Amino acid sequence: MEIELDKTQMSRGSFHLQASGVFLPGLHLVSGRIGSGKTTLAMGIAGLWEPDSGSVKLDGIDSLMLSLQFPELHITGSTLEAEINSWHLDSGPVLSLAGLRGRGEDDPFSLSRGELKRLHLACVFSREWDLLILDEPFSALDCREKTSVCKWITQNNTGITIIFTHEQQHLPRVDYLWEICEGALSYLGSMPDAMKMWTNPPLIVQELHNKGIFPKNLSPEDIMEAACGMRE
């Protein structure tokens, strides 16, 4: 399985994005500031946004899921149970995973956005995908819920998983690091060496780098281990 972006160019109004590179099996983090083009690229890889030039080639991908930032865009069921069943899943385990046990008859739009996000992601991670594209999976979630989603991501990391996010504090361990900056996608490499090439890393990572300390990866545990080493 692989995804090849071959001199791909995409536009939205006056915004232009250039992207080239190959995504192999594993967990990829594509970082970038708000408005940098992360959603545009995510939709392009998923086939929902036509490139102006170049190509997006998916090889060996039989099942694909694009999880959008706003969970309400995915809702089709009139109750939580109906929504879960539309994914061909049993409602009980999914409701439990989402922390919504006993609420199967509720209207999805009666939930807070955080609850709706948990429901949507619980459905996503209850299935396996050759290609899973997560656009801002941590939005609308509190710190504890972000930590849970990080665990869901690492536990369900089969095929190719691509996370598009500007999240700075709660991240899982990843295999490959990419960055969108000034309208271009750059492949920084595999972890942990890729972090040395990061233009706009999270503040804590930047502070560690300034002191010559490079975490092994991006999870809170990795950051804490590196920070503890700084104090020794």
Confidence tier at 112 by pLDDT (50, 70, 90): very high
Which pLDDT does position 157 carry in this prediction? 72
Q: What are the Cα distances from residue 155, in Å, to 123, 131, 149, 162?
A: 14, 15, 10, 14
Which pLDDT does position 120 carry in this prediction? 98
The token duo for 166 is 């500007």
Residue 221 has pLDDT above 60, yes or no: yes
Contacts of 88 (CB under 8 A, 6+ apart): none
Residues in the chain: 232
Tell me the mean pLDDT in the region 70-93. 96
Q: pTM of the prediction?
A: 0.94
Lowest mean pLDDT among 18-32, 53-67, 163-177, 218-232: 218-232
Amino acid letter, residue 197: M
Tell me the mean pLDDT in the region 185-207. 94
Tell me the mean pLDDT in the region 97-102. 96
Among residues 213, 215, 188, the alpha carbon closest in space to that of 200 is found at: 188
Place of tokens 């972006």: 5
| Rg of the chain taking only CA atoms, in angstroms | 18
At residue 132, the 3 state secondary structure works out as strand
Tell me the mean pLDDT in the region 63-85. 96
The span from the CA of 45 to the CA of 40, in Å, is 9
Lowest mean pLDDT among 106-115, 181-190, 216-225: 216-225
The neighbouring-strand residues paired with 26 are 160
Which pLDDT does position 56 carry in this prediction? 97
Residue 14 has pLDDT above 90, yes or no: no
Which pLDDT does position 127 carry in this prediction? 94
Strands 2-12 and 131-135: unpaired
Confidence tier at 227 by pLDDT (50, 70, 90): confident
Contacts of 17 (CB under 8 A, 6+ apart): 9, 10, 11, 37, 40, 41, 180, 183, 184, 185
| Assigned architecture for domain 2-63+128-187 | 3-Layer(aba) Sandwich (3.40)
Residue 232 has pLDDT above 60, yes or no: no
Residue 85 has pLDDT above 80, yes or no: yes
Which pLDDT does position 12 carry in this prediction? 84
Tell me the mean pLDDT in the region 72-80. 96
Query: Could you tell me if 179 and 48 are in contact, meaning their C-beta atoms sit under 8 angstroms apart?
Result: no
Lowest mean pLDDT among 82-86, 168-172, 185-189: 168-172
Q: Which long-range contacts (CB under 8 A, 24 or more apart) does 196-199 make?
A: 198/31
Q: Using DSSP, how many helices (H) and how many strands (E) does the chain show?
A: 7, 9
Burial 28-39, CB ≥16 within 10 A → b, else e: bbbbbeeebbbb
Q: How far apart are the first and last CA of the chain?
A: 43
